[in-house]
């Protein structure tokens, strides 16, 4: 009841109306829960406008979609492991971020650029503390930015990472340079690479980009909705406050948009076991760079950015095609 009252206050509507609205949506194809209704601000008429909110997928429906689209569960490990995925993509000529070193504690074997204990990790970090680095677990998780603050003591970054890696035994860590963004938007993001997040689908029609948004980040974690044809930003909103929408600058567009979409499409063709994939691709100074792929993408932000659900006719036809292939 507290959640309902909170939403009613935000929407300026009586709780009885929201109760009836949620009840109707919860019986629909999106399998929406009360948490979905609040998280996706489905009570907000100003946000969703004339969109058919029955097409919005909740978290549970999202998990079902992934199982239907990517029924080859044996293939998930290759994409989920970032080291394996990067190596596989790079071996087929797709652009990935370079790996300077891999830290995996306790290994007896030696290898090029392999760091096997805290001493080797500390020596590597000291030798590379003159430029920003990114450290991230190979199995996924939050990336750690090192040496980016010129006013910060590099030794503190080194010791913090050493403590963190010690808390995750049995995990490999990638150490990579911080990539430079395309100059067309670098000033807007303070010199940070801003990834474009895309969903690709593959069926009898072919491989294509189904949804895309641009994670510009910053203090408010800004998200830009995109025109799929041109790559131009349509509007901006903070990821945590999708109702605070403002028009994007008229000249804001993803650089190398056609090449970036083609890169996602080629990656999807390479991973032909999957019907649905999420991609993070950064528009770098030398062109698009694949930062990661996800066989189980979250649909929350892509639905909020487009202000329409994913369960539209094109996507439902794609899911029907995948069910047919799976023998369902």
- State the pLDDT confidence band at 152, using cuts at 50, 70 and 90: confident
Q: Is the pLDDT of residue 75 over 90?
A: no
Q: Is the pLDDT of residue 92 over 80?
A: yes
What mean pLDDT comes out for the span 227-239? 98
pLDDT mean across residues, the chain: 93
Q: Is the pLDDT of residue 79 over 70?
A: yes
Q: Residues near 328 by Cβ (< 8 Å), separated by ≥ 6? A: 68
Q: Is the pLDDT of residue 2 over 90?
A: no
Two structure tokens written together for 227: 């025109």
CB–CB of 70/76 below 8 Å? yes
What mean pLDDT comes out for the span 9-26? 88
What mean pLDDT comes out for the span 82-93? 94
- State the pLDDT confidence band at 118, using cuts at 50, 70 and 90: very high
Higher pLDDT, 18 or 183: 183
What mean pLDDT comes out for the span 40-44? 95
pLDDT at 74: 79
Helical pair 82-91 and 257-270, crossing angle rounded to 10 deg:
100
pLDDT at 65: 97
């Amino acid at each position: 009841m507290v959640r309902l009252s909170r939403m009613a206050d935000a929407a300026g509507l009586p709780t009885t109306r929201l109760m009836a609205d949620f009840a109707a949506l919860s019986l629909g194809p999106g399998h929406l829960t009360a948490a979905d209704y609040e998280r996706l601000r489905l009570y907000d008429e100003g946000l969703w406008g004339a969109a058919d909110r029955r097409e919005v997928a909740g978290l549970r429906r999202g998990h079902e979609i992934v199982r239907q689209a990517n029924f080859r569960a044996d293939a998930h490990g290759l994409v989920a492991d970032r080291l394996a995925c990067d190596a596989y993509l790079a071996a087929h000529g797709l652009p990935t971020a370079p790996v300077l070193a891999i830290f995996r504690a306790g290994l007896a074997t030696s290898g090029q650029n392999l760091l096997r204990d805290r001493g080797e990790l500390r020596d590597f970090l000291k030798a590379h503390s003159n430029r920003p680095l990114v450290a991230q677990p190979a199995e996924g998780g939050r990336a750690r930015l090192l040496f980016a603050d010129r006013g910060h003591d590099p030794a503190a970054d080194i010791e913090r990472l050493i403590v963190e890696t010690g808390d995750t035994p049995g995990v490999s860590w990638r150490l990579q340079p911080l990539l430079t963004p395309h100059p067309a938007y670098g000033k807007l993001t303070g010199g940070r690479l801003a990834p474009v997040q895309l969903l690709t689908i593959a069926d009898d029609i072919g491989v294509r980009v189904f949804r895309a948004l641009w994670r510009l980040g910053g203090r408010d974690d800004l998200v830009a909705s995109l025109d799929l044809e041109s790559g131009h930003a349509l509007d901006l909103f903070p990821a945590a406050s999708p109702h605070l929408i403002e028009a994007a600058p008229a000249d804001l567009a993803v650089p190398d948009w056609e090449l970036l979409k083609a890169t996602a499409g080629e990656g999807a063709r390479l991973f032909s076991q999957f019907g649905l994939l999420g991609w993070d691709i950064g528009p770098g100074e030398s062109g698009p760079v694949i930062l990661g792929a996800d066989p189980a993408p979250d649909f929350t932000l892509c639905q909020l950015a487009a202000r329409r659900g994913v369960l539209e006719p094109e996507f439902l036809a794609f899911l029907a095609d995948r069910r047919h292939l799976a023998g369902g």
